[in-house]
Every structure is written in C-alpha cells, then in structure tokens.
C-alpha cells in the first residue's frame, strides 16, 4: 500500500534561514513522481516542485529544492532564505505511474511551517 | 483565466440535508478529482473521473456520489449529510498523462459544515 509520512506536524524557522521539511514514502512501483504543495492560510493549494523517480538530479525551483534519496525513499523539501510569506502548510504527495489511465495521488498529512521575523 | 472554480465556497447544512458541490474547469483537462481535507490527515480522495461519463471510487467514497456529464464539470453530491462530512472539499484537475511532471490543479476549496 502507498503511504506518505511527514513526521513534523509543526516547525519554526527564523526569517532568512534555510529549513528542511521531511517526507518519506512507501511504494513498490519503480516509476513514480513526488510533488510538494504549499497551502497558505487562505486555503489554496499551490504546486511547488516535482521529482521523478528516474530523475538523476535533485529538482530545484527558485528557493525550493528537493533532497531526493531514492534508496531511503525520502524526498525532503528544502526552502532557502525563508520569508514570512513561506508560513503555510506543506504537503508531500506521490503519484505512481501506472499502466492504467488513472494516476492515483497520495498526500501526506502535512507540515505547518511558521517563519519567525 | 479561471482555471478550476468551485461553488459554493462556504455552506452550512443540517444533518440529513442534501447538497451538490460543483467543480468547473476551463483547462480542458481529462482527469478530475474530489478530495476532502481534515486536520492532520492531508487530502483524501473521495471520487475521481478519467473522462466525460466515467467516475470511480477513491479512498473515502461512502456517503458521496459524483457525476461528470460534461467534460468541464464534476459534481459531488451528499445525499444525506452527516456531521462526519464536515470538512474542506477540494476539486482538482489534471491533463491526461503526457508528461510525468504534470501537477494537479486545485480549486480554492469549499468549506462545508454539517450541524
């Protein structure tokens, strides 16, 4: 069964510091994708970054990078130079690439990040 | 450029009442999903659709029904609302899988309270 674990229910980081949000996953499928979403207090889900299971390099998008360790089945999100606007819930999600047309996406429980001025 | 639009945004129901949530998309995406979000549990899939006229059950389908009569619309129905269905409901869309890195596109959510 698929499962996404985010062991940090809440985290604090000082403004301008870097922070790592943990995500571990469990799948027997060799082909899958990992996503991170941000949900600010306003409620919308914002896509941040993607990592494919066959990607050789860690994904980066601006201040966001993904520390992908395939053997350990972890896909941690690193936010550099934290800003007050980074305060939000962060969700890790996984999608298996199945032979059928449907791509099931599993979400983790989320981590609440608070950036302290 | 609306993207994914959910209506209503807020609703309060009494136990036993019925209602329908509407998700409308203008991105011509094939796949559509309904999730519910509860504290500490992330998003859980209720029902999904891979195309017009087709629907299937997700992880937590009990108490909900869906229909996708038109490609751009995905309706979620509560036949007899229960307090356990108090939640925030999200609709999401996704294009047919052409590239692995296609993220889901979400609506802004519907906050539903059942008294």
- Write out the residues of chain A at the interface with chain B, using a CB-CB cutoff of 8 A: 4, 9, 31, 33, 35, 37, 43-45, 47, 50, 52, 91, 93, 97, 101-105, 107-110
Of A90, A110, A107, nearest to A46 by C-alpha is A90
Q: What's the rounded Cα separation, in Å, for the pair B105 and B25?
A: 10
pLDDT category at B48 given cuts 50, 70, 90 is very high
Picking from B44, B61, B103 by the largest number of A CB atoms within 10 A of its own CB, the best residue to mutate is: B103
Contacts (Cβ under 8 Å, ≥6 apart) of A99 = none
Q: What's the first-to-final CA gap in chain A, in angstroms?
A: 41
Q: What is the average pLDDT across A79-98?
A: 92
Distance (Å) of CA A5 to CA A75, A76, A109, B41: 10, 11, 7, 11
Give the mean pLDDT of chain A.
Answer: 91
Q: Is A90 exposed, middle or buried (0-12, 13-18, 19+ CB in 10 A)?
A: buried
List pLDDT tens digits, range A6-55.
999 899 999 999 999 999 999 888 888 999 999 999 999 999 999 999 88
Q: What's the rounded Cα separation, in Å, for the pair B67 and B70?
A: 9
In chain A, count H helices and then E strands.
0, 12
B103: chain A residues, CB-CB within 8 Å? 35, 37, 47, 50
* pLDDT value of residue B41: 82
DSSP 3-state of B115: coil
pLDDT category at B1 given cuts 50, 70, 90 is low
Token digits for A97? 């690439």
Sheet harboring B19-25: ordered strands across? B4-7, B19-25, B73-78, B64-67
Shortest distance between the Cα of B43 and any Cα of chain A, in A, equals 6
B22 neighbors B70 (Cβ within 8 angstroms): no
List pLDDT tens digits, range B19-31.
999 999 999 999 9
Residue A101 reports pLDDT greater than 60: no
B45, B103, B108 member nearest A50 (Cβ): B103
* pLDDT value of residue A29: 83
Residue B2 reports pLDDT greater than 80: no
Interface touch B106/A44, C-beta < 8 Å: yes
- Write out the residues of chain B at the interface with chain A, using a CB-CB cutoff of 8 A: 31, 33, 35, 40-45, 48, 50, 56, 88, 90, 92, 94, 96-97, 100-101, 103-106, 108-109, 111
* pLDDT value of residue A56: 87
């Amino acid at each position: 069964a698929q499962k996404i674990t985010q062991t940090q229910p809440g985290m604090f980081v000082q403004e301008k510091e870097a922070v790592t949000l943990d995500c571990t996953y469990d799948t027997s499928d060799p082909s899958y994708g990992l996503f991170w979403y941000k949900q600010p207090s306003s409620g919308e889900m914002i896509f941040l970054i993607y990592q494919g299971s066959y990607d050789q390099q860690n994904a980066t998008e601006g201040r966001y990078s993904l520390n992908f360790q395939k053997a350990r089945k972890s896909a941690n999100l690193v936010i550099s130079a934290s800003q007050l606007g980074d305060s939000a819930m962060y969700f890790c999600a996984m999608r298996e690439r199945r032979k059928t047309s449907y791509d099931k996406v599993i979400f983790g429980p989320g981590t609440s990040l608070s950036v302290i001025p | 450029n609306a993207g994914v639009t959910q209506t209503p945004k807020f609703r309060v129901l009494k136990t036993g009442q019925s209602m329908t949530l509407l998700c409308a998309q203008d991105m011509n995406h094939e796949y559509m999903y309904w999730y519910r979000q509860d504290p500490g549990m992330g998003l859980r899939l209720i029902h999904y659709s891979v195309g017009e006229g087709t629907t299937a059950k997700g992880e937590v389908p009990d108490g909900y029904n869906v229909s996708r009569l038109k490609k751009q619309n995905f309706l979620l129905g509560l036949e007899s609302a229960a307090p356990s269905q108090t939640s925030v409901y999200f609709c999401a869309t996704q294009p047919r899988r052409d590239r692995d890195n296609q993220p889901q596109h979400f609506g802004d959510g519907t906050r539903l309270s059942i008294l």
